[in-house]
Structure 1
Amino acid sequence: MNTLKNYYELCKPNVVLMMLITALVGSLLASKTLPPISLIAFAMLGIALCASSAAAINQIIDRKVDANMNRTENRPIPQGDVSPVNASIFALILGVLGAVILVVYVNTLTAILTLASLIGYAFIYTVYLKRATPQNIVIGGLAGAAPPLLGWTAITNSVDPNALLLVLIIFAWTPPHFWALAIHRREDYAKENIPMLPVTHGVKFTKLQIILYTIILILVSLLPFIVLMSGVFYLISALVLGAIFLIYSIRLYRDKNNENAFPTFVYSIYYIFLIFAALLIDHYLI
């Protein structure tokens, strides 16, 4: 039972769940009527397996860093519960199985984009960007922003401009989301010489960037309404959720003790769930 739990934790289930929800919303927004349930199910399964593979690869590569950070020291590989070799086999099986499911039961375009996202996060971000630049989150955020596009292409087998708007929302959301956590865990990153923005440019500068990117996020979140993809319900939801996010960001900027860093991070998670829920409600119920 503990073995299953360890492999389950290798998949970063909370992160994968967030990705799946945005992918699901993307698939449901791709059609005016409810798409075939079987197609959605196979798409979500394939995306989940590939995302879990990427999460496992990330932990294999980062195992030495994870062992020295308070937030990650209890992960299965640093604890010795899963060996790097077994984790690698597990990640390979998940990735191959996910890709096969997408090719056979969904479409090749979705499989290619999903694998590109896997490579972007597991290798380009984890191996290079994370240690190369304080803009790691900004540049590498594109891989994590892909799920709604993957869900959309699963239904339409094409890249639609509206799907790219959903990607853009997550892309703009990623920096304030992760930088709030980076402020909260600054000492961990500094200890391992990982060039997160609070480490390289200081907490004050990072707080200012969080405000800036939150404003960018609010503006980007209005695009679905502007292009008539969504209606008034979504517009009001986006403005309210964005205003609350901005309040959190300003409160964090004024906080000398950084006590609001983690609450800002937590709210950012609620924000992304709620704004995608608003898109879905507006599309089907309003």
Structure 2
Amino acid sequence: MSEHAKALNLEGNGTQKISWKDFLELTKPRVVALMMLTTVIGMLLAAPGVPHWSVLVFGNIGIALLAGAAAVINHVVDQKIDTVMARTRKRPVATGKISPFDALVFATSLALAGMLILVWQVNALTAWLTLASLVGYAGVYTLYLKRATPQNIVIGGLAGAMPPLLGWTAVTGQVEGHGLLLVLIIFAWTPPHFWALAIHRKEEYAKAGIPMLPVTHGNRYTEIHIVLYTLMMLAVSLLPFVTGMSGPIYLVGALVLGLRFLQYAVRLLRGDDRMVALATFKYSITYLMALFVFLLVDHFIYF
């Protein structure tokens, strides 16, 4: 009997113990934590000074709950795929520790709680934009795009790029140009970030039947596109300075971080090494966090 079958059998006999940690794992807390960092920074950049405590607290709780709900739905939709890939095969739904039905009930509860908090304590615009992001990620991307096209992460990246705009609208109640600029930065960052991971996990994606770019077009083609998108991301990251949203501290930080990212991308193109791809993926996370921190520091010093 396979490990997955054993897990399902244990669940059926009621001998598997489920803890709150299993439900927490369904929400992808590390991914949500990175999202919330950009959300908080979106809030802090939206207006001079520090937003009211209620917006910071309830806005982040509501957005985090909806982001967690989207992650739970992702576990359910990707249950079969997760059993194939090494990094996901031990997820609670993949092993059968938590049933898809229970996971969906949990996701619905999180989503309803998040919507209630945002509508009641923040504003309706933020609530509906956050819900649209959930639908975009869990529905459009996970259910359709992920399996339909090697451009899945390019098209579907918009949903994952929304958090800073959600933070912005939570404070201002409006969709504004600079808030959209923050979205554009993450949108441009997403392809090189995920394609680096896709090169590292190419065999697993192929086994799972997911048409990631390295699987359908090969590593070389993907690495060229990582370099091109990194150049585009570097250019986009300078727009906050160009538009007067930020000052010289951010400009220096964006250049240093972006050129370092480009160095990783070029190194990957020259060497075509799985470990370099993994290092590029890991740096991309550090890059995004540091870039937004530079935005924040610059904002409070110069504005």
| TM-score relative to the length of structure 2 | 0.93
SS in 2 for 1:228: coil
Write the distance in 1 (CA, Å) between the matches of 2:275 and 2:102: 39
The equivalent position to 2:218 in structure 1, one of 195, 202, 222, is 202
The equivalent position to 2:73 in structure 1, one of 41, 53, 57, is 57
Shift of 1:285: 2.5
Are 1:104 and 2:120 an aligned pair?
Answer: yes
The equivalent position to 1:240 in structure 2, one of 256, 277, 295, is 256
Are 1:270 and 2:277 an aligned pair?
Answer: no
Write the distance in 2 (CA, Å) between the matches of 1:169 and 1:125: 19
Are 1:36 and 2:59 an aligned pair?
Answer: no
SS in 2 for 1:259: helix
Letter in 2 for 1:60: V
Letter in 1 for 2:165: L
Structure 1 portions without partners, runs of 5+: none
Contact 2:18 2:98 in 1 (8 A): no
Write the distance in 2 (CA, Å) between the matches of 1:99 and 1:200: 39
Shift of 1:33: 1.1
The superposition leaves residues 59-98 of structure 1 with CA deviations (integer Å, 9 ceiling, x where unpaired) of 1011011011111001011112111111010000000100
Map of 2:35 onto structure 1 = 19
Map of 2:141 onto structure 1 = 125
Write the distance in 1 (CA, Å) between the matches of 2:263 and 2:278: 14
Map of 2:178 onto structure 1 = 162
Contact 2:230 2:262 in 1 (8 A): yes
Q: How large is the RMSD of aligned CA atoms in angstroms?
A: 0.9
Give the share of equivalent positions with the same residue, in percent: 57
Letter in 1 for 2:130: T
The equivalent position to 2:206 in structure 1, one of 169, 190, 193, is 190
Letter in 2 for 1:212: L
| Segments of 4+ moved more than 3 angstroms | none
Are 1:250 and 2:266 an aligned pair?
Answer: yes
Shift of 1:2: 5.0
Shift of 1:174: 0.1
* Count of aligned residue pairs for this structure pair: 286
The equivalent position to 2:131 in structure 1, one of 105, 115, 123, is 115
Map of 2:5 onto structure 1 = none
Contact 2:220 2:272 in 1 (8 A): no
Letter in 1 for 2:120: V
Which entry has the higher C-alpha Rg, 1 or 2?
2
Map of 1:215 onto structure 2 = 231
Write the distance in 2 (CA, Å) between the matches of 1:164 and 1:204: 32
Are 1:136 and 2:152 an aligned pair?
Answer: yes
| TM-score relative to the length of structure 1 | 0.99
